[in-house]
Each structure stands twice: as C-alpha cells, then as structure tokens.
C-alpha cells in the first residue's frame, strides 16, 4: 500500500479523448486528486464521479485537478463523461499496470477463474509529487466533499 509521504508513482495513461495524460506534467503546478474506481455506469462509479464533477471549480480554486482511473476503455469513458456531464478527465488503465502500482488492483478467484478489479482508492498528491493522503476501501457517497476539505488545508 502507498501512504502519505511516499512519492506518487508516475504514469502516462490515455484519457477519454485519447490524449496521453502524464502525472509528471502537473508537478510544480497543481495538486492532483487521483482516484481509482471500478467501472463506468456502476452505482458507486456514477455517484463518485458526479460528486467530484460537482466540485471541479472548487478544487480548481485550490490549484487541484481531478483524475479518475478505471480499467474501462477510452471510448467507454467518453460516453460516460458525455452522458453524465463529468467535467474532469477519466483515464483508461486497461492493462491495470497503474492501478497495480497504486495497490488499487485486486485479484480474486471464483470457481477456478481468476478475476481482477479495482478497489476504490483515492490519493491526494501535492504539487511536489508526494502523496499527502491515501485512502483505500473508499465509500463513494460523500467522499468528494471529504477530499475537498483535505485539499483546502494543503494551501
């Protein structure tokens, strides 16, 4: 697991419109809220995305960008963003490599079949690239407001 004080693992992932987003591009300029969610259009994924989207401008006032990551394809993210009015980037980690680096990718076996999925997790990364807050086993309802309060205290 990653903890506060750890350097956030860098990555480059495609966003919903297929442009490559790299964490290092935000260093020195913005704090980043990086959250991992299970899937587009699921009740939890929808609730969390809408709550973050409703606060995009408040996060921006504190020099903070929001990035959501799941195993979904870019096209699925684009449809989800358009249908639900999501106002921040959703990144596609189809191979699960970035999710694994952040310890958000979970493996389980059921009836002899190995499956992978995302454990809902959120990281508040400072402008210096250091993780300020790390949360695993996140409940989506009310989570964005909690993260906004933490971001407001970063200065």
Where do the domains of the chain lie, and which CATH numbers do they carry?
12-152 (3.40.30.10)
What average pLDDT does range 129-147 have in this prediction?
A: 95
Q: Indicate the pTM of the whole model.
A: 0.94
What average pLDDT does range 5-25 have in this prediction?
A: 95
Q: Tell whether the model's pLDDT for residue 155 goes beyond 70.
A: no
What share of the chain has pLDDT > 70, as a percent?
99
To 10 degrees, what angle do helices 143-152 and 43-53 make? Answer: 40
CA–CA separation, 4 and 66 (whole Å): 18
What average pLDDT does range 118-145 have in this prediction?
A: 95
For the chain, the average pLDDT equals 94
What share of the chain has pLDDT > 90, as a percent?
85
The confidence score (pLDDT) of residue 16 equals 81
Q: Tell whether the model's pLDDT for residue 116 goes beyond 90.
A: no
CA–CA separation, 38 and 40 (whole Å): 7
What average pLDDT does range 4-29 have in this prediction?
A: 95
Band (pLDDT 50/70/90 cuts) for residue 67 is very high
CA–CA separation, 69 and 75 (whole Å): 14
Assigned token pair, 43: 């009740």
CA–CA separation, 105 and 38 (whole Å): 9
Strand partners, 122: 35, 135
Pairing of strands 121-125, 31-36: antiparallel
């Amino acid at each position: 697991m990653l903890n506060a004080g750890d350097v956030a693992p860098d990555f480059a992932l495609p966003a919903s419109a297929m442009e490559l987003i790299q964490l290092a591009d935000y260093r020195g300029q913005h704090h980043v809220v990086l959250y991992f969610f299970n899937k587009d259009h699921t009740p939890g994924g929808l609730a969390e995305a809408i709550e973050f989207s409703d606060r995009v401008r408040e996060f921006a006032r504190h020099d903070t960008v929001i990035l959501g990551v799941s195993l979904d394809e870019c096209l699925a993210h684009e449809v989800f963003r358009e249908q639900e009015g999501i106002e921040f980037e959703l990144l596609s980690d189809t191979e699960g490599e970035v999710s694994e680096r952040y310890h958000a990718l979970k493996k389980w076996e059921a009836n002899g079949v190995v499956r992978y999925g995302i454990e809902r997790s959120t990281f508040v990364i400072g402008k210096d690239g250091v993780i300020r807050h790390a949360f695993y086993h996140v409940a989506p309802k009310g989570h964005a407001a909690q993260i906004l309060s933490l971001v407001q205290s970063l200065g």
